[in-house]
């Protein structure tokens, strides 16, 4: 298996740079690679490069970009807004959300939110590892938590917010997406909002549903765990309106 690494450095044919600690540990200690071994490199903006370990010494690992293997391609602009969950559940959510093409993770504090803090550094590391494994060309951003009120007041009209509503009126997600007018489907960007384990307060859901950029969606008759609901909504979105029709690079 050729290791695939996210790097912060600019990538051009022939670029050489020192690997950061995370990459050095992974290549030298975990994968036991050495000088000359092949790599795949991406940095979120210059595409993907075939590369190699140019120099491998105990405290210094030099990587080299050899040739462009994939052009930087546009990836979906899809946000996941979620009420912070317990550590394992939020790690799971970020890993799977990254695989499902989320471009931004926005924690949102609601009335029943279990915890109002997240570890942005750890979650960013989870997103980087998932992006490396699922062969995407970007790494989603993990933002600091904001209140539901701040989300509402700061929202831009050109992004449609799909609110996963466990109660009250909500069309099944497939029907809700297919009923969106073609201009919304084409011109708008999208976001999914998932409530906390304790659920949205009724008045929170009522106020959200009155907003012109909100589409409430149902995810079936069962009460799903928040992280399950997020995956169900993201997978449905990608299949119906997103990039679900595209094929992985190797088979392109």
Residue numbers of the site for ligand SAM (CB under 6 A)? 164-166, 194-195, 197-200, 218-220, 222-226, 229
Number of residues written out for the chain:
252
203 contact partners, CB below 8 Å, separation of at least 6: none
CB of 24 or CB of 90, closer to ligand SAM: 90
Least distance from ligand SAM to the Cβ atom of residue 148, Å:
12
Least distance from ligand SAM to the Cβ atom of residue 136, Å:
25
Least distance from ligand SAM to the Cβ atom of residue 82, Å:
9
CB of 73 or CB of 197, closer to ligand SAM: 197
Rounded Cα distance between 127 and 97, Å, is 9
CB of 11 or CB of 148, closer to ligand SAM: 148
What is the pairing mode between strands 60-70 and 48-57?
antiparallel
Rounded Cα distance between 96 and 94, Å, is 6
Angle between helical axes of 226-240 and 87-99 (0-180°, round to 10): 10
Least distance from ligand SAM to the Cβ atom of residue 223, Å:
5
HEC letters along 119-144: CHHHHHHHHHHHHHHHCCCCCCEECC
Least distance from ligand SAM to the Cβ atom of residue 232, Å:
8
CB of 11 or CB of 226, closer to ligand SAM: 226
- Closest CB to ligand SAM belongs to which residue? 195
| Distance between start and end Cα atoms, the chain | 19
CB of 59 or CB of 222, closer to ligand SAM: 222
């Amino acid at each position: 298996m050729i290791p695939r690494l996210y790097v912060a450095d600019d990538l051009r044919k022939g670029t050489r740079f020192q690997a950061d600690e995370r990459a050095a540990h992974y290549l030298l200690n975990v994968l036991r690679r050495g000088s000359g071994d092949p790599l795949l490199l991406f940095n979120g903006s210059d595409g993907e490069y075939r590369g190699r370990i140019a120099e491998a010494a105990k405290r210094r690992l030099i990587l080299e970009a050899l040739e462009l293997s994939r052009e930087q391609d546009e990836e979906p602009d899809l946000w996941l807004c979620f009420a912070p969950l317990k550590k394992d559940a939020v790690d799971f959510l970020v890993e799977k959300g990254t695989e499902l093409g989320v471009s931004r993770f926005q924690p949102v504090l609601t009335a029943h939110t279990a915890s109002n803090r997240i570890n942005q550094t750890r979650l960013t590391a989870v997103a980087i590892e998932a992006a490396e494994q699922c062969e995407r060309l970007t790494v989603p951003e993990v933002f600091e938590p904001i209140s539901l009120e701040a989300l509402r007041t700061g929202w831009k009209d050109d992004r449609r917010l799909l609110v996963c509503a466990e109660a009250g009126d909500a069309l099944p997600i497939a029907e809700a997406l297919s009923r969106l007018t073609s201009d919304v489907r084409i011109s708008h960007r999208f976001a999914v909002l998932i409530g906390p384990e304790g659920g949205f307060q009724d008045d929170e859901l009522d106020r959200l549903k009155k907003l012109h950029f909100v589409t409430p969606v149902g995810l079936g008759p069962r009460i799903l765990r928040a992280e399950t609901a997020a995956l169900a909504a993201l997978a449905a979105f990608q299949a119906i309106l997103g990039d679900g029709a595209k094929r992985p690079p190797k088979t392109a």
